[in-house]
Structure 1
């Protein structure tokens, strides 16, 4: 989630509406933006920042501590590569004005199988990022209130598990809301939350007695796979780039939108990572908010602001999945009871996964290494090669570099993250 909370993630932009469109396939995919071109450069930039910024800002200090100072080179490499693959998505969409979503690009390149493949990776990534929100909220609330427990009919639930359940109950209404305009305005708070978190971390280091005393290590080879995966998670918003592009009044300026968004988010990620590593060194936990002293005002501001992210993003994360399920079972889901069952079932299943895999860092690393890399690096390259690439030149070197980087992160990062989760069980 990029990691890209990828990502993190891929969060959905402001002013989003969903509608179903059937294009050359029996599979009906949810599209994520009104087809009318109404957004300006500034509005689209804000939407892009909302898509790129997320829970990745909490995990990027841990990524730096895992790989060491030189791993920042990897962050810049991933930022540049994902910016370039974002431009490839733009080029793919310029070929056919009927392309309005990421699955549409997959269909244009590889037919119905391409649409299905892109949909699977996109929806699975959204589901796991939403699950990561529950883990994030549970960890931070338990850190602030370690003695809280829930007693339900004699069954006592202690620790972070109780907070995961409480947060899921609070977030369920956002999943049940069908008015996407309402949900999208709620999600806009995530952008401001990232800025507040960064300011709170700086405040903690400067005025709360923590300081910036740790020197860290130059390079930690064993931690590079984890760092690579978490950095990739920070730039996982590519599935929503087509919706941003189609919404613009002047689409020629979309490259500028991407440049501003990637520059701003990279600055925020690097600043947070450096501050966190100087403050806590190798003792950094999977979320920097877990390192902050709970009795300090700045720490409480950072933690409570971090909790805004799940509230603002959770419903929008699951909405495309709900739309996909309902499109396949339309006759049943037209009845209100079945629609309610689908939505609450998704929330319940994500709670089960969050309780089973309570390892935020490892889960986000796995999502970044497998799903985010596939959706943000590999698929844009393959689709572009199939749709519009016609000659061999300097662009070939960029595409080969992007594919090699993506494959390395996919194989090594997924293997390392999977082992970390298994060993933690």
Structure 2
């Protein structure tokens, strides 16, 4: 597109403020002994992630060495994309950079080494403050000030096209897959074209985010986009929404693990003194939480990040097991079911939104690509694959189990079949590898708010993480309804994160540069997201209240 080509060259041109130059020079001083020239070049050439504004006096933000909260977003969310340790050849070398608080010094040193060894780009001895950095005007309240830890990855650590596709698919194809047959049962067969429509518009909003990222150097994450569009307030609102969405996903992980384990061992129960008794789902919810808790204490999550890449294979395996039970083990496929059920459609739309909400990490994937211009193609491939898999699983599950299909199709699969056992254990193990990666961004962002260094000790960190994990267990025990919680997340959070805010930010950042067609399409998506979100949220809350009173 013309718009893509117009802004592509801007991504590599920006200049550091004085404080950031000093910070970069200090980070490189231990490793650079070739003269002042090299040190200056290292500080200046790191500008590809510099702030949106060059003039500190024009902004009311804090010092550049202290960028707005959350500072740890990119490092922590990169883990969630599935980037693996350096020893893994098919994924980028990034594990040592993920936790900014633990690896900041090492990251700065390696970054400066890469700068000093680079000779492919022309280097300037002095910054040029009058140089035009962006084509688009950006909200003056939104100027980003990024520390050296937010500078882009060296070229050798960037992702190839295939790695980006794998990372994007790994993010998208997750919890939503297992509840797709239930979603079609709620809406009827006409829910399938709605599912396809959701795939198209969420893919489009991902492309809009790419254009926002290209509009100005220094925009690298979703909170950055929010700040570029609506200032610090926009950054805070979007960050909070993203973290709440991650927290809700952790709750769903616990519900998913406990439901599937209780399906394998339904007769497990425990009676405690004072008349307290725990049934099978409650026991397994507690046990699985105890199992994932030590992984949250880990300082280095690179191994879990590597294992989480298997989420794509796990999703494919679940689909194969479902089809095998229907086609080979004798369950069969039956052309039954309702054509359309309008009353339950809001719940279905919420589940669809839940299944397509990967937008929190799309900017991270874009920023880590060797060739960011191919990001739209990455999105098309990821969304196409996930949509085909969603439709296949939805059709198989609904034709196999009909109106009896449960919130997770693994609960319907006869447990005496070997593929059923494989599917159930896959549904248990996969969340175990992803739980710590999902909750870590929340932990790191909250730890940033701890006022003094003395309170950031290892013991305090472990206690804090334990309390946060325990809170997800309490919520999971309070609302153990997988599909309804998924519909609530999709209706309230996903509509905002995947539909409404990408369009609002796009309209704000590129104001005056859009055609009437582009503006009209964004307004349509916003209205659709608001209506769907309101109806779906009301329907999910009503159903949740009914379930809890039964």
**Quick check: TM above 0.5?**
yes
Give how far 1:214 is off.
Answer: 4.0
Match of 1:382 among 500, 504, 507: 504
Please tell me whether residue 13 in structure 1 is matched to residue 135 in structure 2.
Answer: no
Please tell me whether residue 196 in structure 1 is matched to residue 317 in structure 2.
Answer: yes
Give how far 1:396 is off.
Answer: 2.2
- Range with bigger deviation, 374-383 or 147-156: 147-156
Give how far 1:328 is off.
Answer: 0.6
The residue number in structure 1 matching 2:411 is: 290
Give how far 1:395 is off.
Answer: 1.4
User: How many residues are treated as equivalent by the alignment?
Assistant: 414
Report if aligned partners of 1:28, 1:324 keep a CA contact under 8 Å in 2.
no
Report if aligned partners of 1:369, 1:409 keep a CA contact under 8 Å in 2.
yes
Shift in alpha-carbon separation, 1:181–1:242, aligned structure 2, 3 A: same
> SS in structure 1 opposite 2:190?
helix
> SS in structure 2 opposite 1:212?
coil
The residue number in structure 2 matching 1:405 is: 528
Give how far 1:156 is off.
Answer: 4.8
**Residues of 2 paired with 1:310 and 1:11: CA distance?**
15
The residue number in structure 2 matching 1:353 is: 475
Shift in alpha-carbon separation, 1:28–1:148, aligned structure 2, 3 A: farther
Shift in alpha-carbon separation, 1:134–1:312, aligned structure 2, 3 A: same
Please tell me whether residue 168 in structure 1 is matched to residue 289 in structure 2.
Answer: yes
Shift in alpha-carbon separation, 1:114–1:223, aligned structure 2, 3 A: same
Write out aligned runs for 1:221-236 (5 A).
Answer: 221-236=342-357
Report if aligned partners of 1:32, 1:101 keep a CA contact under 8 Å in 2.
no
> SS in structure 1 opposite 2:406?
coil
**Residues of 2 paired with 1:348 and 1:222: CA distance?**
36
Shift in alpha-carbon separation, 1:236–1:160, aligned structure 2, 3 A: same
Give how far 1:344 is off.
Answer: 0.6
Report if aligned partners of 2:254, 2:285 keep a CA contact under 8 Å in 1.
yes
**Residues of 2 paired with 1:136 and 1:317: CA distance?**
15
Match of 2:202 among 82, 91, 95: 82
Shift in alpha-carbon separation, 1:349–1:192, aligned structure 2, 3 A: same
Please tell me whether residue 314 in structure 1 is matched to residue 432 in structure 2.
Answer: no
Give how far 1:186 is off.
Answer: 2.1
The residue number in structure 2 matching 1:70 is: 190
**Residues of 1 paired with 2:285 and 2:160: CA distance?**
39
Cα RMSD after superposing both structures: 2.4
Write out aligned runs for 1:100-119 (5 A).
Answer: 100-119=220-239
**Residues of 1 paired with 2:201 and 2:529: CA distance?**
9
Shift in alpha-carbon separation, 1:141–1:258, aligned structure 2, 3 A: same
Give how far 1:152 is off.
Answer: 6.8
Please tell me whether residue 45 in structure 1 is matched to residue 165 in structure 2.
Answer: yes
**Residues of 1 paired with 2:161 and 2:299: CA distance?**
28
Match of 2:306 among 185, 202, 206: 185
Give how far 1:283 is off.
Answer: 1.2
Q: Looking at both structures, which has the greater relative contact order when contacts are Cα pairs under 8 Å and sequence separation is at least 6?
A: 1
Shift in alpha-carbon separation, 1:395–1:252, aligned structure 2, 3 A: same
Shift in alpha-carbon separation, 1:330–1:179, aligned structure 2, 3 A: farther
Shift in alpha-carbon separation, 1:88–1:24, aligned structure 2, 3 A: closer
Shift in alpha-carbon separation, 1:11–1:205, aligned structure 2, 3 A: farther
The residue number in structure 1 matching 2:39 is: none
The residue number in structure 2 matching 1:55 is: 175
Shift in alpha-carbon separation, 1:227–1:27, aligned structure 2, 3 A: farther
> SS in structure 1 opposite 2:431?
helix
**Residues of 2 paired with 1:33 and 1:73: CA distance?**
42
**Residues of 2 paired with 1:392 and 1:248: CA distance?**
29
Give how far 1:18 is off.
Answer: 4.0
The residue number in structure 1 matching 2:30 is: none
Please tell me whether residue 209 in structure 1 is matched to residue 330 in structure 2.
Answer: yes
Runs of 4+ in 1 over 6 A off after TM superposition: 23-29, 31-34, 151-155
Name which one, 1 or 2, has greater alpha-carbon Rg: 2
TM-score (norm 1): 0.92
Structure 2: runs of 5+ lacking an equivalent: 1-77, 84-94, 105-140
Report if aligned partners of 1:33, 1:247 keep a CA contact under 8 Å in 2.
no
Shift in alpha-carbon separation, 1:119–1:89, aligned structure 2, 3 A: same
Shift in alpha-carbon separation, 1:187–1:152, aligned structure 2, 3 A: farther
**Residues of 2 paired with 1:333 and 1:130: CA distance?**
26
> SS in structure 2 opposite 1:280?
helix
Give how far 1:128 is off.
Answer: 0.5
The residue number in structure 1 matching 2:400 is: 279
Structure 1: runs of 5+ lacking an equivalent: 1-9
The residue number in structure 1 matching 2:537 is: 414
Give how far 1:34 is off.
Answer: 6.4
**Residues of 1 paired with 2:154 and 2:273: CA distance?**
52
Give how far 1:372 is off.
Answer: 0.9
Give how far 1:239 is off.
Answer: 0.6
The residue number in structure 1 matching 2:211 is: 91
Residue by residue over 1:132-191, the C-alpha shift from the partner in whole angstroms, topping out at 9 and shown as x without a partner, is: 010011111101101123467896532100000000011112211121322311211211
**Residues of 2 paired with 1:346 and 1:249: CA distance?**
36
Give how far 1:389 is off.
Answer: 3.5
Report if aligned partners of 1:187, 1:312 keep a CA contact under 8 Å in 2.
yes
Write out aligned runs for 1:245-260 (5 A).
Answer: 245-260=366-381
Report if aligned partners of 2:142, 2:230 keep a CA contact under 8 Å in 1.
no
- Range with bigger deviation, 396-405 or 220-229: 396-405
